[in-house]
Amino acid sequence: METQSNQAPKKKNSTFIIVLAVLVLGGGAFGITKYIHAQHHEDTDNAQVEANVSPVIPRVTGYVKEVRVKDNQKVKKGDTLVILDDRDLQIKLEQAEAALAASEVQVSVATANTTAARANIGSSSANIGAVDAQIKAAEVNVWRANQDYERYNNLIKDHSITQQQYEQALATKQTAERQLKVLQEQKEVASRQTSAVGSQANATAESITAAKAVIKERQAEVDNAKLQLSYTIILAPEDGELSKIYVQPGQLVQAGQSLFSVVLSNDVWVVANFKETQLNKMKLGQEVEVHVDAFPGKSLKAKVTSFSPATGARFALLPPDNASGNFVKVVQRLPVKIEFENAASQPEVKQLRPGMNVVVDVHLD
């Protein structure tokens, strides 16, 4: 009896030792494996899928006339999303077009006035030429009358002619001189008229230039009115999928107000926030395994493409300022951009959506 009682505890102690040894060896192997893995890998679960998200923003204020899309709908670049009531802008366009037509009429009137003024210049110049010819003829008459008067003046002294003949020669001389003076005065008047007409022609020519400048201004107003009118049709900026539609017909929207968003479907990537203590061996181009929570057991191939120029905290609305208050050292995280390799050969990539959680494992070697 005593022999059997002594053998039972020994058997129990040996089982305990075996189990303990297995646990120690298993824990040691696990620890060594993790240590070796840590020497060649850096991983984090602080990572999400990202994509370009373009907000749909109206450029003009107006009431929503029609919404042509639904929540989560796929759209192509240039598809019509929302139509605003354009009646006010249509009236402004018509007003601008009417102002443009009026300015064009002003150019026509100024051109006609300039043509008439230039014709008057030609007529005045012709009048001056005619007066010059008359002046030359009058000068000849004055010369001849003076010659006759001198002869008759010498003859009257010898009583070779009568007093009547002398007076007739004198009258002829005076008449010729008066006619010459009148013609000279007419020439001066015609010259002044020509100068005035020339000034008027220059003024009307300048008015044409001013009217043409007004036309350009009115044309710019018409173009702007057409552009504003075109903004009442809101188009998709790129291919993608829409978010929830937050706008309804009859709603007043303001210029610059975000209505909803388009998640562009041209590319997706991962942004992983690594601790600053993990960045020692990380470099551009290193291979990355991406494990998406939505696809358990799947590993997507990617690579490191860029590092953020600053930590995530520096881009916060209120970045921490260690120079004020009590300083507490906190390990910072740096966003790292990771892009998928050969996305076409990885169908899961097309199913990724911005905001999905992922776990990334960077191969340091």
DSSP designation for 351: T
- Looking at the structure, tell me whether residues 209 and 247 fall in a common domain: no
The first and second tokens of residue 246, run together, are 């937050």
* CA-based radius of gyration for the chain: 51
C-alpha to C-alpha distances, 225 to 214, 220, 221, 229, 231, nearest whole angstrom: 16, 8, 6, 6, 10
Quote the CA–CA distance of 111 and 235 in Å, as a whole number. Answer: 45
Q: Is residue 32 part of a domain?
A: no
The first and second tokens of residue 43, run together, are 């991983």
- When pLDDT is cut at 50, 70 and 90, the band that residue 38 belongs to is low
- Looking at the structure, tell me whether residues 131 and 48 fall in a common domain: no
Considering only residues 27 and 223, tell me which one the structure prediction assigns the higher pLDDT: 223
- Looking at the structure, tell me whether residues 200 and 132 fall in a common domain: yes
- Looking at the structure, tell me whether residues 295 and 267 fall in a common domain: yes
Do the beta carbons of residue 175 and residue 141 sit within 8 Å?
no
Q: Is residue 10 part of a domain?
A: no
- Looking at the structure, tell me whether residues 63 and 113 fall in a common domain: no
Question: What single string gives the DSSP state of each residue in 165-193?
Answer: HHHHHHHHHHHHHHHHHHHHHHHHHHHHH
- Element housing 265 (H / E): strand 260-275
Q: How many domains does the chain have?
A: 2
> For residue 236, what pLDDT is reported?
93
pLDDT digits (tens, 9 = 90+) for 110-137: 777 777 666 666 666 666 666 667 777 7
DSSP designation for 85: -
Q: Is residue 38 part of a domain?
A: no
Whether pTM > 0.75 for this model: the answer is no
**CATH code: domain of residue 113:** 1.10.287.620
Mean pLDDT of the chain, nearest integer: 83
Residues in CB range of 21: below 8 A, 6 or more apart: none
- Looking at the structure, tell me whether residues 107 and 79 fall in a common domain: no
Do the beta carbons of residue 250 and residue 225 sit within 8 Å?
no
Considering only residues 28 and 296, tell me which one the structure prediction assigns the higher pLDDT: 296
The first and second tokens of residue 240, run together, are 């993608």
Please give the share of the chain, as a percent, with pLDDT higher than 90.
Answer: 44
- Residue corresponding to tokens 């900026």: 237
Last-in-domain residue among 206, 230, 254: 230
> For residue 116, what pLDDT is reported?
66
The first and second tokens of residue 74, run together, are 């796929």
Q: Is residue 287 part of a domain?
A: yes
Could you tell me the residue range of the domain that residue 264 belongs to? 43-85+242-363
> For residue 285, what pLDDT is reported?
92
- Looking at the structure, tell me whether residues 106 and 214 fall in a common domain: yes
DSSP SS3 for 84: strand
pLDDT digits (tens, 9 = 90+) for 185-236: 776 776 666 666 666 666 666 777 777 888 899 999 999 999 999 999 999 9
Quote the CA–CA distance of 269 and 79 in Å, as a whole number. Answer: 26
- Looking at the structure, tell me whether residues 73 and 149 fall in a common domain: no
Quote the CA–CA distance of 15 and 25 in Å, as a whole number. Answer: 15
pLDDT digits (tens, 9 = 90+) for 295-309: 988 899 999 999 999
Q: Is residue 53 part of a domain?
A: yes
Quote the CA–CA distance of 56 and 82 in Å, as a whole number. Answer: 10
Last-in-domain residue among 202, 230, 258: 230
- When pLDDT is cut at 50, 70 and 90, the band that residue 273 belongs to is very high
Last-in-domain residue among 171, 200, 230: 230
> For residue 162, what pLDDT is reported?
74
pLDDT digits (tens, 9 = 90+) for 155-180: 777 777 777 777 777 787 778 778 77
Please give the share of the chain, as a percent, with pLDDT higher than 70.
Answer: 81
- Looking at the structure, tell me whether residues 100 and 73 fall in a common domain: no
Q: Is residue 265 part of a domain?
A: yes
Q: How many Cα neighbours within 13 Å face the side chain of 346?
A: 20
- Looking at the structure, tell me whether residues 285 and 185 fall in a common domain: no
Output phi, psi for 76, to 5 deg.
-110, 160
pLDDT digits (tens, 9 = 90+) for 60-113: 999 999 999 999 999 999 999 999 999 999 999 999 999 999 888 887 777 777
Do the beta carbons of residue 255 and residue 58 sit within 8 Å?
yes
Quote the CA–CA distance of 25 and 23 in Å, as a whole number. Answer: 5
- Looking at the structure, tell me whether residues 56 and 122 fall in a common domain: no
Quote the CA–CA distance of 211 and 137 in Å, as a whole number. Answer: 47
Quote the CA–CA distance of 208 and 218 in Å, as a whole number. Answer: 15
Quote the CA–CA distance of 206 and 230 in Å, as a whole number. Answer: 36
Quote the CA–CA distance of 270 and 76 in Å, as a whole number. Answer: 24
**CATH code: domain of residue 344:** 2.40.30.170
- Looking at the structure, tell me whether residues 273 and 173 fall in a common domain: no
The first and second tokens of residue 338, run together, are 């990771």
